[in-house]
Amino acid sequence: MDYTELRTVRQLASEAMFVTENKLRWWIFHADKNGFQSALIKVGGRVYIDRREFNRWLEAQRIAPKPEHYAA
């Protein structure tokens, strides 16, 4: 794990404009059901989000697989 990839809820919401702080908090609250816990690190009472793991988790939520581009 690279500590420079850790973000607070507020930091990640400001970087990822498509998601709100409230949505991130909802995902954190339901992390045991939605698999989001793999992106979370808890230190004391503070929760941090690993940006790389967040991106992996987000990609896993894709409804359909990404199409493969073939060079002709």
Residue 70 inside a domain? The answer is no
Could you identify the residue written with the tokens 């359909």? 64
CA atoms of 45 and 53, how far apart (whole Å)? 20
Could you tell me the pTM of the whole model? 0.84
pLDDT, residue 71, reads 56
| CATH number of 23's domain | 3.90.105
pLDDT, residue 30, reads 98
Residue 65 inside a domain? The answer is no
Nearest 5°: phi and psi at 48? -115, 150
Residue 30 inside a domain? The answer is yes
pLDDT, residue 70, reads 58
Residue 72 inside a domain? The answer is no
State which residues of the chain have pLDDT below 50.
none
Give the structural domain span for 56. 3-60
In eight-state DSSP terms, residue 69 is P
CA atoms of 25 and 4, how far apart (whole Å)? 21
Structural domains in the chain (count): 1
